[in-house]
């Protein structure tokens, strides 16, 4: 299995504090990898170095074999990387369909067009994506009036617009009701397997971690302390101590 | 050598004044998050009040003179406190644009007040008793008062440091600068903290003005030159940084002093007047700083802001058939207007059409793209001057000149816009205003080319458009086409992408949209539309003056957009019509049109935060819902 | 608990973020000198409840009483100045100010019926703070910031304090210190309403428990009752 994402010896310090230190991991096609760790473990820093929002001090991030360090997020997107955010980031003054159309327009490089009607571009394609994530019937509604769980689905449809090979999801179920969490993650799982997409996600909810990830990596104080299947990680004594144990959830 | 030393000292003296204005602006912004556009007006008030107070207290005695200076500064501080309590307190929760407009309304009202109270003449105050002589420095005479001024800057910096770092009030101010909500949740009544900071900032601006009394005459345009200077300094030094303001004031003060000192120099056979280039040099300094350190020399990166969830507009909907038919009927009716033979109405309608295009071009970047420009008249003026100068200086025919206008405006917008789009929100507004003021000064000072303050005359259209009716129809076609094009572009992928950038820059970045580049393109594009309006305006009046690109005209455009409602597409045209008609009706009957306008803005801001059409639309939806 | 014994009381409180209905009919009470805990998962409405009490989020409906007086609708500074302290989840330290200055911002005049705090006393509660008085708030560790944010609120001499997830993201040894500090506060007569996800921590310090889920209170009882009710725990808290 060739790695879609390969992270090697990634390090980053903020004002003398080593936020991430020598973290390495790899991710293959169709694989769901959860990154967990207590607050302050370096998950967000690590995540932002992968998506290009932060430049690492050292180490490399390869997507499909190409080093992405130093490239802005929008270039990394053009390499086939979709993203969803912890707090959804959608275009609130547009309809659900227009949000997806916007991503398709950008993907096809039609942004500079001054005369075509944007609302008539790639309409069917957008609707197919909305159908796939289960909100086709809400296509005409404004994003600003959508329920939070549905906004998460919009983000997923938007992230799929550039036919990504890698999906980065920051806390995909944050702010959702427990039932919605399970349905959303099941949907992600289905899509990932049918399209052979690799997924890296961070998560607080242990159900979402152990119920849906193929593999789990655990960070603590900037270091990768464990990696393996859910059961392996759950049984790792170091993990129990720093993460699950300290929150009384073992 | 000795002249260099003297120039250096001159620069230090100037820097103190600049620091006093800019530091107050910076302090007020830090705590209240309001950019006080009236800060230059407070400075101007300081100088006028000090002039009168010195006269009243007696300039001969030291006590009278210094007492007058202090009294003037205190009076301005008190005025600042009143402004904060009566106006700003009501709008801390309002959208940024409304806060900026409210303080700008004050600029207009203060200016008319000064005109009413002191008249239009320049007023030069007496010299300071005890400091009216000069000392010899390396053989050159240097005014004692300027030596005193050199000391003022560092002394005020030191006192401010003590106030902010050695008193509980100062600790609270610094805490509120970082997180005012948390300060409130710890039991501190921020209201009085805000009032205190605003009064302190106003006091410092007033002091800066009052101390200028022996150095320069009180003049009516000082408010805008001072605010432009202050904006440049806080952008260079970093918003919210007091040492940054000091450092930037030193740099700008020195740059100005050396430019004036250089005077006229012949470079490669061309005589260059450096003393008139001070603002251009300032611009270059600012440009360099912005490229190297976008947040200023000692500033910090702005935290990424998420759009406030309360002001989300509904999705764009294509016009209903009825609306399109209505527009066609309106166009026909407008085309038939000259047949009525109402000559005055034809002229007024020509103005309205031109301003509708101008306002729509501002609305395009302000509403959908979310970039509030306070210097949009720069491109209106560049269009007018571009056309006029090509006609008069190059002797080109009208048709060519008319094309040159938008081109010049687009070029100017491309240069200024390149810097402006690097900043967002209030920083963007400040920078656009500073650039417009720089453009205005260049036109105002370049007598030999632009005609300076007198402007140019003889900008008449070609023979086939010489009748008012023919020109009106010509304007109707061009402006109508311009408005239609702007509307069409809003519905295009480009227009959508701009709205996307306003709604969520984060998401744009994540789907490959280079929003800064699109914003730059939009800024340039609307520059061309504003330039078209400006060029048409020049030909409709037959003359040019620097007023065309002065700050008040930028504000006219903002008010037109605001009258119509930022979130509506037809708003700018309605707003332009209402505004132009009102101005035509009222300005003929009063000298104080500006303050009336200011009062109107204040009322709109305080009463109709959605604009007129926006408020009507909201009433409509409410009626529908019930 | 009778209503007269409650220092803080919420009755039928609703709150919204924009259009989202975050709190629905929340009623709870904190007895004088008591530690009450509001338990729930991420996003259940714990932080919003505390923010609504202190006035940072407006209560759309319902009543909030502190010391018997209505406080809903008052601005946060007046609520805080009446002796109700608030410690935010994200700590909100003034990072540019020193530790001593952070404490100074929180300082209020002593009030009757509440313990009086001084810099020395809060440093006795959190000894780590003593040595770093002149260090900028931004250059302290997560645990130190959590201590500082509590100490800063104590400087206002509150009779009741709202603690939003004080154990979140802290090393176990610091969590133990937090538990000890809350017990000391209780001993000093300060009433506490804390929000938590950590059931172990809550069980250690609290007398009374509320469980919130999707903005509604799902359980009200003593901490012992909660400990005895496995079904409730599994439905609303367990992973």
- What CATH code is carried by the domain that includes residue B108? 1.10.3470
Question: Does residue C26 belong to any structural domain of this protein?
Answer: no
Question: Does residue C3 belong to any structural domain of this protein?
Answer: no
Same domain? For B260 and B354 the reply is no
**How distant is the Cα of C201 from the closest Cα of chain A, in angstroms?**
8
Domain stop point among B292, B311, B329: B292
Same domain? For B379 and B247 the reply is no
Instruction: Please give the residue of chain C at the shortest CA–CA distance from A211.
Output: C239
Same domain? For B242 and B389 the reply is no
pLDDT tens, residue by residue, C63-100:
999 999 999 999 999 999 999 999 998 889 999 999 99
Domain stop point among B292, B327, B351: B292
Taking CA atoms, A54 is separated from A80, A86, A169, in Å, by: 18, 17, 16
CB contacts of C108 in chain B (<8 Å) are: 187
Contact B184 C92 (CB under 8 A): no
Question: Does residue C172 belong to any structural domain of this protein?
Answer: yes
Tell me, yes or no, if C43 comes closer than 8 A to chain A by beta carbon: yes
Give the residue numbers spanning the domain of C160. Answer: 32-56+81-236
Question: Does residue B247 belong to any structural domain of this protein?
Answer: yes
CATH code, C86: 3.40.50.300
**ipTM of the predicted assembly exceeds 0.85:** yes
B507 closest CB neighbour out of A72, A89, A105: A89
Contact B315 A114 (CB under 8 A): no
Question: Does residue C179 belong to any structural domain of this protein?
Answer: yes
Contact B513 A106 (CB under 8 A): yes
Give the residue numbers spanning the domain of B156. Answer: 2-292
Same domain? For B177 and B271 the reply is yes
pLDDT tens, residue by residue, C96-136:
999 999 999 999 999 988 999 999 999 999 998 999 999 99
Same domain? For B250 and B380 the reply is no
Identify the pLDDT of residue C18: 65
- Structural domains in chain A plus CATH codes: 1-80+166-176+197-250 (3.40.50.300), 85-163 (no CATH)
pLDDT tens, residue by residue, A104-155:
999 999 999 998 999 999 999 999 999 999 999 999 999 888 887 889 999 9
Tell me, yes or no, if C201 comes closer than 8 A to chain A by beta carbon: yes
**How distant is the Cα of B236 from the closest Cα of chain C, in angstroms?**
21
A175 closest CB neighbour out of C43, C172, C201: C43
Count: domains in chain B: 2
Identify the CA nearest to C49 among candidates C106, C2, C8, C7: C8
Q: Which of A81, A102, A129, A155 to mutate to test the interface with B (most CBs of B within 10 A)?
A: A102
Q: How far apart are CA B113 and CA B100, in angstroms?
A: 20
CB contacts of B187 in chain C (<8 Å) are: 77, 80-81, 106, 108, 156
**How distant is the Cα of A68 from the closest Cα of chain C, in angstroms?**
31
Helical packing angle, A123-133 and A96-107, nearest 10°: 120
Q: How far apart are CA B148 and CA B162, in angstroms?
A: 21
Using an 8 Å Cβ cutoff, are A191 and A197 in contact?
Answer: yes
Same domain? For B235 and B364 the reply is no
Contact B509 A118 (CB under 8 A): no
Pair of tokens at residue B152: 């003022």
pTM of the predicted protein model: 0.83
Q: What is the mean pLDDT of residues A32-38?
A: 87
Virtual torsion, Cα B58, B60, B61, B65, nearest 10 deg: 60
Count: domains in chain C: 1
Which residues of chain B carry a pLDDT beneath 70? Answer: 1, 269-270, 272, 302-312, 319-320, 608-626
Is residue A244's pLDDT more than 70?
A: no
**What is the phi/psi pair of residue A170, to 5°?**
-90, 110
Question: Does residue C196 belong to any structural domain of this protein?
Answer: yes
Buried b (16+ CB within 10 A) or exposed e, B10-35: bbbbbbbbbbbbbbbbbbbbbbbebb
Give the gyration radius of chain A's Cα atoms. 18
Question: Does residue C11 belong to any structural domain of this protein?
Answer: no
Question: Does residue C2 belong to any structural domain of this protein?
Answer: no
pLDDT tens, residue by residue, C8-34:
999 999 998 766 678 999 999 999 999
Identify the pLDDT of residue A41: 79
A40 falls in which pLDDT band (50, 70, 90)? low
Domain stop point among B292, B326, B352: B292
A248 closest CB neighbour out of C19, C42, C199: C199
């Amino acid at each position: 299995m060739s790695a879609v994402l390969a992270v090697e010896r990634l390090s980053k310090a903020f004002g003398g504090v080593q936020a991430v230190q020598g973290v390495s991991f790899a991710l293959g096609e169709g694989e769901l990898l959860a990154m967990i760790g207590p607050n302050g473990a370096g998950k967000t820093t690590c995540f932002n170095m992968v998506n290009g929002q932060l430049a690492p001090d050292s180490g490399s991030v390869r997507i499909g074999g190409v080093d992405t360090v130093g490239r802005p997020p929008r270039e990394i997107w053009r390499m086939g990387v979709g993203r969803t955010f912890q707090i959804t980031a959608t275009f609130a003054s547009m309809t659900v369909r227009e949000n997806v159309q916007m991503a398709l327009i950008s993907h096809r490089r039609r942004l500079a067009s001054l005369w075509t009607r944007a609302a008539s571009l790639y309409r069917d394609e957008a609707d197919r994506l909305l159908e796939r994530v289960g909100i086709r019937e809400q296509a005409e509604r404004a994003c600003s009036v959508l329920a939070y769980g549905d906004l998460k689905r919009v983000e997923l449809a938007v992230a799929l617009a550039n036919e990504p090979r890698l999906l980065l999801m920051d806390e995909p179920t944050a702010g959702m009701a427990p039932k919605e969490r399970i349905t959303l993650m099941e949907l992600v799982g289905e899509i990932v397997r049918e399209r052979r997409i690799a997924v890296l996600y961070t998560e607080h909810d242990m159900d979402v971690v152990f119920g849906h990830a193929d593999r789990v990596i655990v960070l603590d104080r900037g270091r990768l302390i464990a990696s393996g299947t859910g059961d392996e990680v759950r049984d790792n004594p170091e993990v129990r101590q720093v993460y699950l144990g300290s929150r009384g959830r073992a | 050598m000795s002249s260099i030393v003297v120039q250096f000292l001159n620069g230090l003296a100037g820097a103190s004044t600049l620091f006093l204005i800019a530091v107050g602006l910076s302090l007020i912004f830090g705590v209240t998050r309001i950019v006080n556009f009236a800060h230059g007006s407070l400075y101007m008030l300081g100088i006028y009040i000090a002039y009168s107070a010195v006269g009243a207290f007696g300039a001969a005695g030291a006590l009278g003179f210094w007492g007058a200076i202090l009294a003037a500064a205190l009076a301005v501080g008190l005025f600042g406190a009143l402004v904060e309590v009566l106006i700003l307190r009501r709008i801390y929760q309002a959208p940024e644009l409304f806060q900026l407009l409210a303080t700008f309304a004050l600029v207009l009202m203060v200016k008319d007040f000064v005109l009413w109270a002191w008249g239009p003449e320049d007023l030069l105050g007496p010299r300071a008793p005890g400091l009216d002589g000069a000392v010899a420095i390396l053989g050159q005479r240097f005014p004692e008062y300027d030596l005193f001024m050199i000391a003022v800057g560092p002394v005020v910096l030191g006192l401010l440091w003590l106030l902010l770092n050695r008193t509980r009030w100062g600790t609270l101010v610094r805490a509120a600068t970082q997180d005012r909500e948390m300060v409130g949740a710890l039991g501190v009544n921020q209201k009085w903290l805000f009032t205190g900071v605003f009064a302190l900032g106003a006091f410092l601006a007033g002091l800066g003005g009052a101390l200028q009394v022996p150095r320069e005459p009180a003049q009516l345009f000082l408010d805008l030159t001072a605010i432009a200077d202050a904006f440049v300094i806080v952008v260079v030094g970093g918003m919210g940084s007091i040492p940054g303001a000091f450092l930037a004031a030193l740099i700008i003060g020195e740059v100005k002093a050396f430019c004036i000192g250089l005077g006229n120099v012949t470079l490669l056979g061309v005589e260059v007047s450096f003393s008139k280039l001070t603002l251009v040099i300032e611009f270059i300094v600012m440009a360099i700083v912005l490229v190297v350190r976008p947040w200023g020399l000692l500033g910090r990166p702005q935290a990424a802001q998420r759009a406030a969830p309360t002001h989300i507009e509904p999705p764009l909907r294509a016009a209903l058939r009825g609306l399109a038919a209505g527009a066609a009927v309106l166009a026909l009716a407008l085309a038939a207007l000259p047949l009525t033979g109402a000559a005055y109405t034809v002229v007024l309608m020509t103005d309205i059409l031109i301003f509708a295009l101008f306002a729509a071009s501002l609305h395009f970047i302000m509403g959908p793209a979310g970039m509030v420009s306070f210097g949009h008249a720069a491109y209106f003026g560049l269009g007018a001057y571009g056309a006029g100068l090509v006609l008069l200086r190059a002797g080109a025919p009208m048709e060519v000149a008319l094309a040159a206008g938008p081109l010049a405006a687009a070029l100017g917008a491309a240069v200024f816009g390149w810097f402006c789009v690097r900043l967002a929100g209030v920083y963007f507004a400040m920078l656009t205003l500073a650039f417009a003021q720089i453009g205005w000064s260049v036109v105002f000072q370049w007598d030999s080319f632009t005609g300076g303050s007198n402007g140019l005359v003889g900008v008449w259209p070609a023979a086939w458009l010489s009748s008012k009716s023919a020109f009106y129809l010509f304007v109707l076609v061009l402006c109508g086409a311009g408005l239609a094009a702007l509307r069409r572009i809003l519905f295009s992928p480009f227009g959508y992408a701009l709205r996307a950038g306003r709604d969520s820059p984060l998401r744009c970045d994540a789907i490959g949209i280079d929003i800064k580049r699109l914003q730059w393109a939009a800024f340039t594009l609307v520059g061309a539309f504003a330039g078209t309006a400006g060029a048409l305006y020049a030909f409709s009046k037959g003359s040019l003056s620097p007023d065309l690109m002065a700050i008040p005209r930028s504000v006219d455009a903002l008010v037109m957009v605001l009258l119509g409602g930022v979130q509506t597409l037809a708003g700018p045209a309605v707003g332009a019509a209402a505004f132009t008609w009102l101005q035509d009706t009222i300005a003929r009957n009063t000298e104080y049109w500006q303050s009336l306008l200011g009062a109107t803005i204040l009322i709109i801001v305080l009463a109709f935060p959605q604009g007129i059409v926006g408020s009507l639309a909201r009433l409509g939806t409410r009626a529908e819902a019930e | 608990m009778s209503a007269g014994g409650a220092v803080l009381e919420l009755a039928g409180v609703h709150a919204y973020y924009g259009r989202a209905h975050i709190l629905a009919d929340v009623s709870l009470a904190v007895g004088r000198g008591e530690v009450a805990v509001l338990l729930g998962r991420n996003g259940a409405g714990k932080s919003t409840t505390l923010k609504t009490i202190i006035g940072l989020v407006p209560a759309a409906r319902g009543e909030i009483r502190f010391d018997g007086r209505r406080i809903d609708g008052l601005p946060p500074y007046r609520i805080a100045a009446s002796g109700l302290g608030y410690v935010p989840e994200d700590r909100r330290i003034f990072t540019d100010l020193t530790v001593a200055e952070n404490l100074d911002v929180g300082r209020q005049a002593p009030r009757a019926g509440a313990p009086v705090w001084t810099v020395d006393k809060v440093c006795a509660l959190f000894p780590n703070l003593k040595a770093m008085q002149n260090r900028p708030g931004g250059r302290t560790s997560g645990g130190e910031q959590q201590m500082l944010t509590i100490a800063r609120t104590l400087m206002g001499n509150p009779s009741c304090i709202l603690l939003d997830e004080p154990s979140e993201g802290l090393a176990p040894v610091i969590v133990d210190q937090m538990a000890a500090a809350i017990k000391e506060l209780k001993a000093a007569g300060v009433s506490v309403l804390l929000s938590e996800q950590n059931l172990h921590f809550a069980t250690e310090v609290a007398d009374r428990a509320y469980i919130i889920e999707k903005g509604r209170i799902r359980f009200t009882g003593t901490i012992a009752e909660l400990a005895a009710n496995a079904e409730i725990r599994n439905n609303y808290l367990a992973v």
